[in-house]
Amino acid sequence: MKKTKRGNWTKGLCLLLLLLPLSFAQAQDQQEEREEEKEMHNIDTEHDKILKLHPLQIGEIYLSYEKLRTPRISNEFGISYVYTSYLKSSDWFPEDKSTIGIGVRMSQRHYTSKKKNAPFGFFHGPMLGYRFLAFEKNVFGLEELPPNDPNYKYVGRLYVNALDLSYQAGGQFPLGKQFTFEVAASLGVRAKVAKADGAGDMLEDKIIGRIVHSDENTAAAIVPLPQLKLSLGYAF
């Protein structure tokens, strides 16, 4: 009889020890949920979403959307239509060429100003971007010859895929009740892969940046990416 009671007591103790971590985890989750709800109440709901136009993005039309996640952290997503990009030329200045392209940017911002509520004041954070470009035909400036000409050389259209990684810092300020103004600077690197069938060495001659790989049809390059950004936005 005593062994039976002792066995029941031992089983009960083991069950209690197994349930304690589960109860602790559940209590911790509930505490985190209460803290998150409290944080969400502190968000400036009149300005927690901003639609922006970026007029300084040369060669592209760039729009973005910023949304506060917490009272001090926001995420921004942007999309752009790229109609002009640049290639190396024979002189010191790059040569602009018409393109059909699309760009996508994502970033996270940490607002640190103690006297201003986000999304206003000083901010900093990482940025990630991607762009795809299809250049105008014959960007290499080849003489147009008929296919049966002995000097004819087929070179395909130039396509470029680029990945950007950078870090930004800047400030965002209210203009009146609903409009915003932002100025920021970023520094990073762009890795890009250019492809044009049969281009060969012409890719190295035209692609801006340090060439890290090349063959008959492709060239890969990396280039520093300093940027200055201005935006005008509407908060709601």
Task: Judge whether residue 229 has pLDDT over 70.
Answer: yes
pLDDT for 4 equals 54
| Rounded Cα gap, residues 102 and 131, in angstroms | 6
Task: Judge whether residue 84 has pLDDT over 80.
Answer: yes
pLDDT: is 102 or 45 the higher one?
A: 102
Measured from the Cβ of residue 154, the count of other Cβ atoms closer than 10 Å reads: 9
User: What is the value of pTM for the model shown?
Assistant: 0.78
| Rounded Cα gap, residues 8 and 11, in angstroms | 5
**199, 43, 200, 221: which is closest to 135 by C-alpha?**
199
pLDDT for 45 equals 84
Q: Is 87 helix (H, G, I), strand (E, B) or coil?
A: strand
In whole numbers, what is the pLDDT of the chain averaged over residues?
87
| Rounded Cα gap, residues 119 and 117, in angstroms | 6
pLDDT for 6 equals 54
**26, 141, 27: which is closest to 87 by C-alpha?**
141
What's the mean pLDDT in 209-228? Answer: 96
What's the mean pLDDT in 228-235? Answer: 96
Q: Phi-psi category of 66—alpha, beta or left, where left has phi over 0 and alpha has psi -120 to 50?
A: beta
Task: Judge whether residue 38 has pLDDT over 70.
Answer: no
pLDDT for 2 equals 46
What's the mean pLDDT in 205-233? Answer: 95
Q: Each residue of 127-169: pLDDT tens digit?
A: 999 999 999 988 988 888 888 888 888 889 999 999 999 999 9
Q: Each residue of 171-182: pLDDT tens digit?
A: 999 998 999 999
Task: Judge whether residue 36 has pLDDT over 90.
Answer: no
What's the mean pLDDT in 106-119? Answer: 94
pLDDT for 16 equals 58
